[in-house]
Amino acid sequence: MTIGAWLRERAPAPPQLSARITEVMGDRVDRDAGETSTACLDAADELLRELLARPSAGRESALDLLTVDALVTYAFEAASETPESLDARATDAMRRLASRASS
C-alpha cells in the first residue's frame, strides 16, 4: 500500500484541505505506507518552515496552517500503528517543530 492509499482510507477531509495535503506531500504519496509517519512529519515541517518565512501570516495562511495540523495528526495516527516507536516519534516531532519557532 502507498502513502496516498493510506491517506485515502482515512475519514475524508474537506476537499480543499485534502487537495492541499496531496500537493504538499508531492511524490511522497507514492512511497510505501510504512513511511507515512516520517513522510507526513517531513511535509508538515517543510510547510511550517515556509509559513514562518512569510512576512505575514494572515487569513491567507489558514489553509496551510490547517494542512500542517492535519499532516502532524496523520503522522501520529500512522505512528500509533507501532506503539513502541511512539515515544521516539513524539520527541523527534516536538524537537523539529519547536526549532521552527526559534528560527
> Taking the CB of residue 47, how many other CB atoms lie within 10 A of it?
20
Number of domains making up the chain: 1
Mean pLDDT per 10-residue section of the chain, whose length is 103 residues: 96 94 97 96 95 83 95 95 89 87 66
Domain region containing 85: 3-101
Q: Identify the pLDDT of residue 77.
A: 95
pTM of the prediction? 0.90
Q: Identify the pLDDT of residue 76.
A: 95
Using CA atoms of 30, 80, 91, 73 in order, give the dihedral in degrees to the nearest 10. 60
Residue 92 corresponds to which cell in the numbers above? 523527534
Q: Identify the pLDDT of residue 103.
A: 59
Estimate to the nearest angstrom the gap between the alpha carbon of 29 and the chain centroid.
Answer: 12
Q: Identify the pLDDT of residue 85.
A: 86
Residues 6+ apart with CB under 8 A from 33: 1, 2, 3, 5, 6, 78
Q: Identify the pLDDT of residue 59.
A: 83
